Structure 1
């Protein structure tokens, strides 16, 4: 299917990437403000990790329906309506959250909003942009997630000291509205691939909320399981990164603290953009599965190294955190591009739904297990506890290469 004549491929990609950044202004607000919120509400590590993780539980609850719907209706309509959920979650947190229960509720709403913008945004792209450059454009889109996360961290890090945490949440809720209007008004309507007159060789759309047609495809299954391990590590790291940097700062009184923890975390997040784009290019040349297995194994090792580095020096900690984040993100676009290539056009929305559901299931567990390990091994003031908490991310990541390798035995590399 070709894109409308008036919409060039580059314009579509640029528009959707800009909307992605705007839709995510509230994405990192809680991780950026975890330390002051933990003190204000007297939360344990497990409680703090639960609120961080329940964002992804909200995503999981909504993504099977919202993403699969894009096989039937134009993804831009799903996108716009979902930004309203993002606004409700982020704005509501600032206005009404008073503790673990209410904070978790609004985080879950915000996560449901992301479920209707991230993968549906990718579906809007693949419905409009086809051909040999599609894989590269997918990498641009998925890498922009890192820009959105960094912008959100910076906004929260600037707004909270100037105002307070409530205003930081409320103001960060404005971005999704702008994103929804941009996609709805500036993107030309296109019928999704599965709703067009099918050719004899094209599969029918997957049934709503039925993952079996997707999971029966071993090539797709490998990317889905790899993505689950990837998200466990990535979102566990993102949820606790600012707090860990603050801890490392406290252990290094001579460290250059011109940048606050949120700003340093934002800069580290930006390293993921070239890592993801270049990783996809390398994977396309050497073989996706071989590349993914190698990179995820390296990332698992770096998680342990970064976690136990805080007592050595701030410079070493910064270097290892940067290398770890690069390794985490280096397989991101390769996984997503591999999924899109492996899934039949009429089932891509359903494949993206299963991919996101299991992936963000890992995203829910990562921050929670991190907090549980942190509490169990000595608490937030123990360097060893932080090391083992990071190690939990490495262990989860190590499951990814195994899953990708096992499903690859009967599929082409």
Structure 2
């Protein structure tokens, strides 16, 4: 197994803590008597602390190397989730604990993508980042499955503890995979298909701004989807009388397996063609799927599960493409800080999505109205991708 593949295995384990609260939420709302707004506020606190960690870690990665920052964050993330499992027994203690988890685990995101770029050739960067994100999605799947299954079978603490063990194992594998890797080398060149222009651009150019707006809107839709779709699916499947294990597996697979496949597929596709075209198609389809997902509670549960899987395929599908495009666009010595700013803005906006969703749902008691708030993010991402394509065409005409 090569170094990048082994790192992806470790990344999957390290991500098992990211979805632990969202996975257990269907059980926690009943056990802790939480309103949707309260549950959304806890997830928002996690996302905000995640955003802060992303900013700090990305800046540190430019100065001390992505390898060192990644390892510090994964090991400390395992310790933080173990503390969360021990002390989170109410909405109040969970709020404090989830902030600590976000501040530690969140810092591994940008360094992981930087390492993926460093360990791959420029012409394969989209695929490499897609694989890294797919590994994270697999970790999310495990997180949702074990958090929901163990929370229903043994109680929430058991679900948190199982995920903490997974994060610890992921940190150990990541440590082994990065032995001998020095400070991140300079990233040379760009893919011929980058932004459909074939050339790298200034970090402050219009293409970078379009990518920034698109990423912020993408995070709004994605983080809201991750926080609330497990609860939607559990509600839809309640009348089906499925067992705990089957329900947990269906929820995890519907949300994360399709997304895992899409990051690889769309990342590789963007290496061969135009990143902007891929972003237009994926963002537009994701927005439509969010609207359909809100309507699906009126239909058979099989439709709800199927639409959730298709929605995840498109909502997550542009993650690797956006990251590869930023890597193509920004000079190597500025990539860490640009990704940090991008991440804090994206995850900061995305942090508001779960509580916005929950507030709308508390007010309207309507899944369709709540999911419309997420579809708005997909619509903005679509417009940003269209603007990116426009600037790419203007650049070609000048050449």
Question: Fold conserved (TM > 0.5)?
Answer: yes
| 2:197 equivalent in structure 1 | none
Residues 67, 353 of structure 1: 8 Å contact kept: yes
Question: 2: CA distance between counterparts of 1:256 and 1:184?
Answer: 39
Return the offset for 1:25: 1.6
Return the offset for 1:41: 1.9
Question: 2: CA distance between counterparts of 1:170 and 1:241?
Answer: 23
Residues 271, 322 of structure 1: 8 Å contact kept: yes
Q: Indicate whether 1:366 and 2:353 are aligned.
A: yes
Equivalent residue runs for 1:91-130 within 5 Å:
91-130=82-121
Residues 299, 394 of structure 1: 8 Å contact kept: yes
Deviation readout 1:259-299 (Å, 9 max, x if unpaired) = 54322121111011222211123333441112212221121
Deviation readout 1:360-406 (Å, 9 max, x if unpaired) = 1233122111111110102xxxxxx1111111111122111222333
**3-state SS in 2 of match to 1:43:** coil
| 1:375 equivalent in structure 2 | 362
Q: Indicate whether 1:354 and 2:341 are aligned.
A: yes
Return the offset for 1:136: 1.8
Q: CA RMSD in A?
A: 2.5
Selected match of 1:398 from 356, 361, 379 = 379
| 2:220 equivalent in structure 1 | 232
Pair 1:46–1:260, CA change in 2 (3 A): farther
Question: 2: CA distance between counterparts of 1:97 and 1:89?
Answer: 11
Residues 85, 164 of structure 2: 8 Å contact kept: no
Pair 1:106–1:96, CA change in 2 (3 A): same
Return the offset for 1:215: 6.3
Question: 2: CA distance between counterparts of 1:191 and 1:406?
Answer: 35
**3-state SS in 2 of match to 1:123:** helix
What TM-score do you get using the length of structure 2 for normalisation? 0.88
Equivalent residue runs for 1:273-312 within 5 Å:
273-312=260-299
**3-state SS in 1 of match to 2:236:** helix
What TM-score do you get using the length of structure 1 for normalisation? 0.85
| 2:195 equivalent in structure 1 | none
Residues 248, 311 of structure 1: 8 Å contact kept: no
Deviation readout 1:146-180 (Å, 9 max, x if unpaired) = 11110111222332234221122123112333333
**3-state SS in 2 of match to 1:289:** helix
Q: Indicate whether 1:387 and 2:368 are aligned.
A: yes
Question: 1: CA distance between counterparts of 2:317 and 2:341?
Answer: 22
Question: 1: CA distance between counterparts of 2:81 and 2:176?
Answer: 23
Question: 1: CA distance between counterparts of 2:122 and 2:90?
Answer: 49
User: Could you list the runs of 5+ residues in structure 2 that have no partner in the other structure?
Assistant: 190-200
Pair 1:377–1:215, CA change in 2 (3 A): farther
